Amino acid sequence: MDSGLILIVFGGFLIGGAWSVFRLDAETGGRTTSQVVLAVVLLVAALLATASGILRLV
């Protein structure tokens, strides 16, 4: 299995994690700052992993 494909799959898992964290609602009915920050960090990591996986395949 190529390392580029592994990075793309890992990026997909990170995107799913970012979506599930962003979808969580706090008890107050809104998203907390820490949830938004964690979702953004996971999304950036997912984009970097996916981009590096694509570049490794090229």
Could you say which DSSP state residue 39 is in? H
At residue 21, the pLDDT reads 84
Domain residue limits, the chain:
3-57
pLDDT tens-digit readout, 2-57: 889 999 999 999 999 988 888 877 666 777 888 889 999 999 999 999 999 999 99
Q: How confident is the model at residue 1 (pLDDT cuts 50, 70, 90)?
A: low
In contact, 42 and 18? CB cutoff 8 Å: yes
